[in-house]
Structure 1
Amino acid sequence: MNHADLVIIGAGQSGLATAALAPRHGFTRTLVLEAADQPGGTWPLHYDSLTLFSPARYSALPGMRFPGNPDRHPTRDEVVDYLRAYAGHVPAEIRTSTTVASVRPIAGAWSVCTADGEEWTASTVIAATGDYGHPYVPEIPGSADFDGDLLHAAGYRSPHAFAGRRVLVVGGGNSAIQIAAELGAVADTTLATRRPIGWMAQRPLGRDLHWWLRHTGLDVAPIRRLLMKAPISVLDDGTYRAALERHGVDRREMFSRFTTDGVVWADGSKEAVDAVVLATGYRPTFPYLKESGVLDTAGQPLHRGGVATTAPGFGFVGMEFQRNFSSKTLRGVGRDAGHVLSRLRG
């Protein structure tokens, strides 16, 4: 059996930021366990054209600026390269291709067991696997009978396979808009949403929105409950809205059910469609924590600001609205990681 001061599960943006800050909080031996064969979390798995809605200057992890023009919006591949370079500077042992099977409390510490039978003990464990590895697929009547292509955005890569087809994109968030905008160039595309798209200006009064969030304090304000109830808004400098209009991508009220060859719209009309892309987000799930005592009966974390409330020495980093508006983002995970580390060490 091996021992570490701190075991971090996940080497994506959240786990790497946590590992980078660990020495500042007195952790001298940090181990990061990552299921994938390289650091970077699920970023390499996102669709090819994914582009951040935050400029590079607001998309860096603690201690390492994002390279290049600070006002540009980095692409998926740029983020992947950045995270892998960042991992090379993290003062921790990072073990890839290592899946955590279970975490259990033992004698005032934690036992972390991997799928290949290796066991580690640690006084502190932080789950930083986020939720991007667990796509949320809503239950829509008739989906099992649909003969067309039905996929989540997690399985979408590029528009080429959809050229000339009738495609629906379900969802009104940033990813749905990006995917619909590029599909519209090659396919007859419609956005299906439960409410109108909420557009938010990228540069109000000449300043990027992220500048305003930082200088007003809203980026770190503890308004979690309010934000979780707020309607989804799409940040845009006009590029995506113009692309949707240029390619004739319309928006319709969410359809009520599938048929074998298409959907039934809210007004009762039927339409044949070839493919449906579900840009319906992700949900956190922690299968390796079933024996930990830090989850409720629904499998969700029992925490306050990322610090487990039911067991000492356990924390979470990388959950949506964990503490504020910027949690689960490149610019926000560092702040959350520092908060959790300081509370656990204190």
Structure 2
Amino acid sequence: MTQHADVVVVGGGQAGLAAGYHLRRQGVGFVILDAQATPGGAWQETWDSLRLFSPAAYSSLPGRLMSAQPGETYPDAQHAVDYLTDYEKRYELPVQRPVRVEGIHRDGRRLRVETDSGRWSAQAVISATGTWWRPFLPSIPDRGVFGGRQLHTVQYRNPGEFAGQRVVVVGGGNSGAQIAADLAPTTDLTWVTRRPPRFLADDIDGRALFDAATARRRALDTGDADTGGVASLGDIVAVPPVREARDAGLLTAQPMFTHLTEDGVEWPDGTRTRADAIIWCTGFRPALSTLAPLGLRGPHGHIPTAGTRAVGEPRLHLLGYGDWTGPASATLIGVGRPAREAAREIAGVLRA
């Protein structure tokens, strides 16, 4: 049996909920299909000590401010999960879970959404699957010969299981810095980055990053000079745990090694460091496998978009994957605006 909806939103994390909020305001019928068993999106999968980059009031979805977490300037991941759970309930968003979408297909004038629990037919689809579910590992020679443990950011939880061990953390972004800071007091830590780490000024957090991303998008849209956006400010937000570890001299980065050995890593000059574990904090790629039947990827795997709308399939919108689907759209504060624009555009087409 095929179920019908004006719009199917794929993904029930922050981007999917923001889309649902604005679709409802537009009076559009929709359903949100989420593969997770419980609310909270990727926030419920993160490491224990993770902190948001902005105060609660600046980490909010449209329509409802996130409350402050007592005793914390920067809320933890569980606070974000609680907020998203409450947000979903408050606006009575029609989330069905766990429903895993297996593929999206053209079906005449509609799109067909195949899932592990049935089929949906929609006039439009919003893909809001995020990136957490597709961790990226760089190509490094001899990775397979290393006899210790290797894991990605998505698999790290807390320093307890690494106490007293020799740990190499790879990555100069926020996850690398936060996990390195988490491990530094209780492990023999080696922090490795491709270039010297760039800490943002201590008074810069997600609020300033959102403003920088928005200003860059505005400049590009109007033909002005590229402001550089977030990348011009730095790579690492100095949230309190990172700041404390940095100021204590515990976050001294080494340049990137060339390959792995049986018991560690080796640099170009032959210097070796032994390791019990390597944690790859090397980022993510958009989780877009459900869109493969539509054949939209370009030569480099990128799906061209105009705003959030896929150029090659105007009934499809992509939301929450980064600046290419809206300034800072992968953040809580940033996803609201492109969600509103996508909902308005879809509603306009449906009413035409």
TM-score by length of 2: 0.89
Q: Deviations over 1:196-236 (max 9, x none)?
A: 111111426xxx66158549963863659854875851111
Gap runs ≥5 in structure 1: none
Q: Distance in 2 between matches of 1:203 and 1:209?
A: 10
Structural mapping, 1:1-346, within 5 Å: 1-27=2-28, 29-68=29-68, 72-116=73-117, 118-203=118-203, 210=207, 214=211, 218=215, 221=218, 223=220, 226-227=228-229, 233-236=235-238, 239-246=241-248, 248-296=250-298, 298-346=300-348
> CA offset at residue 43 of structure 1?
1.2
Assess, with a 3 A threshold, how the Cα gap between structure 1 residues 77 and 177 changes in structure 2: closer, same or farther.
Answer: same
Assess, with a 3 A threshold, how the Cα gap between structure 1 residues 217 and 119 changes in structure 2: closer, same or farther.
Answer: closer
> CA offset at residue 23 of structure 1?
2.0
Q: Distance in 1 between matches of 2:77 and 2:335?
A: 18
Q: Distance in 2 between matches of 1:82 and 1:149?
A: 34
Number of residue equivalences: 341
> CA offset at residue 268 of structure 1?
2.1
Asked if the contact 2:134/2:286 (under 8 Å) is kept, the reply is yes
TM-score by length of 1: 0.91
> CA offset at residue 54 of structure 1?
1.1
Assess, with a 3 A threshold, how the Cα gap between structure 1 residues 215 and 257 changes in structure 2: closer, same or farther.
Answer: closer
Secondary structure, aligned partner of 2:190? strand
Asked if the contact 2:200/2:234 (under 8 Å) is kept, the reply is no
Asked if the contact 1:180/1:244 (under 8 Å) is kept, the reply is no
Q: Deviations over 1:59-111 (max 9, x none)?
A: 00011110125982110110011111111123432100100111111121111
Q: Distance in 2 between matches of 1:223 and 1:297?
A: 23
Gap runs ≥5 in structure 2: none
More helix by share: 2
Assess, with a 3 A threshold, how the Cα gap between structure 1 residues 292 and 216 changes in structure 2: closer, same or farther.
Answer: closer
> CA offset at residue 321 of structure 1?
1.2
Secondary structure, aligned partner of 1:200? coil
> CA offset at residue 246 of structure 1?
2.4
> CA offset at residue 132 of structure 1?
1.0
Asked if the contact 2:320/2:326 (under 8 Å) is kept, the reply is no
Paired-residue identity, %? 34
Q: Distance in 2 between matches of 1:31 and 1:167?
A: 44
Question: Which range is displaced more, 291-300 or 57-66?
Answer: 291-300
Secondary structure, aligned partner of 1:17? helix
Which letter does structure 2 place at the counterpart of 1:98?
V
Asked if the contact 1:213/1:219 (under 8 Å) is kept, the reply is no
CA-atom RMSD, angstroms? 2.5
Q: Distance in 1 between matches of 2:213 and 2:307?
A: 21
Q: Distance in 1 between matches of 2:210 and 2:331?
A: 13
